[in-house]
C-alpha cells in the first residue's frame, strides 16, 4: 500500500491557489481511479482503492498546510505504511511552472507543510512529487506567501490539466517501477 498525500488548505477561499496544487492532483487521481467518496478521519479526508497494481490510500489533510503532519502521521500509523511508501504531492517554488520532479528525503526548503510532516513522521525520508509553481514574477506585488496563496492565472489554468496528468504519471511510475526507476524517468528533461 502507498499513502498518497495531497497538500493544500481547506475551504473554497483557497481552492484555486498555487499552494493547493497537491489537493488538485490527489482529487484528479481519485477521479481517474474511480475511488469512493472522501471520508473524514485523521484530521483530513481520505479514500482507499486500487491503482497501478497496488492498494492506494489518498489523503487530504484538513489541518491547514502548516500542520499537515498532524494528519499524515496518524494516517500512516493507522495503515502501517513506512515513510518510503508515503508520497507527498506539493507545490514547489524552486521549479518552473509545470515542471514535475520526484525526490526522496531532504529538507523542507521553507515549505511549512513539509516541515510539519518531517517533524511528525520523525524523518524526511518520504517520497515527494514536487509540482513547479515557479517564483513570483518581477511585477508581483507582495511577498512569496502572497504568491503561493494566489490563484493560478488564466494561462497557468489552461496548462494545469496537463501538469496534473504528469503528476499522476509520476505516481504511476513510482508504484509500478519503484522509486529509483521512476525518478530516472520523471526527472529526465525531455
Which listed residue (19, 90, 108, 111) is catalytic?
19
Question: CA–CA separation, 71 vs 88, rounded Å?
Answer: 12
Q: Give how far Cα 186 sits from Cα of 130, 151, 178, 182, Å.
A: 11, 26, 12, 6
**179, three cell numbers:** 522509486
Residues ≥6 apart with Cβ < 8 Å to 129:
25, 87, 88, 89, 90, 100, 101, 102, 167, 170, 171
Question: CA–CA separation, 186 vs 190, rounded Å?
Answer: 9
Question: CA–CA separation, 130 vs 91, rounded Å?
Answer: 6
Question: Residue 19 catalytic?
Answer: yes
The strand pair at 2-6 and 39-41 is best described as unpaired
The most distant pair of C-alpha atoms in the chain lies apart, rounded to whole Å, by: 47
Annotated catalytic sites, by residue? 19
Amino acid at each position: 500500500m502507498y499513502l498518497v498525500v495531497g497538500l493544500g488548505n481547506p475551504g473554497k477561499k483557497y481552492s484555486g491557489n498555487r499552494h493547493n496544487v497537491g489537493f488538485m492532483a490527489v482529487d484528479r487521481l481519485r477521479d481517474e481511479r474511480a475511488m469512493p467518496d472522501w471520508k473524514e478521519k485523521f484530521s483530513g479526508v481520505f479514500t482507499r482503492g486500487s491503482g497501478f497494481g497496488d492498494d492506494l490510500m489518498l489523503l487530504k489533510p484538513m489541518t491547514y498546510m502548516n500542520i499537515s503532519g498532524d494528519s499524515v502521521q496518524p494516517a500512516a500509523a493507522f495503515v502501517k505504511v513506512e515513510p518510503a511508501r508515503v508520497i507527498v504531492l506539493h507545490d514547489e517554488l524552486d521549479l518552473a511552472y509545470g515542471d514535475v520532479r520526484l525526490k526522496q528525503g531532504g529538507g523542507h526548503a521553507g515549505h511549512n507543510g513539509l516541515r510539519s510532516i518531517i517533524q511528525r513522521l520523525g524523518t524526511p525520508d518520504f517520497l515527494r512529487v514536487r509540482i513547479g509553481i515557479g517564483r513570483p514574477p518581477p511585477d508581483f506585488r507582495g511577498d512569496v506567501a502572497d504568491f503561493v496563496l494566489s490563484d493560478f492565472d488564466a494561462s497557468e489554468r489552461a496548462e494545469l490539466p496537463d501538469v496534473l496528468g504528469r503528476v499522476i504519471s509520476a505516481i504511476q511510475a513510482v508504484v509500478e517501477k519503484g522509486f529509483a526507476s521512476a525518478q530516472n524517468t520523471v526527472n529526465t528533461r525531455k
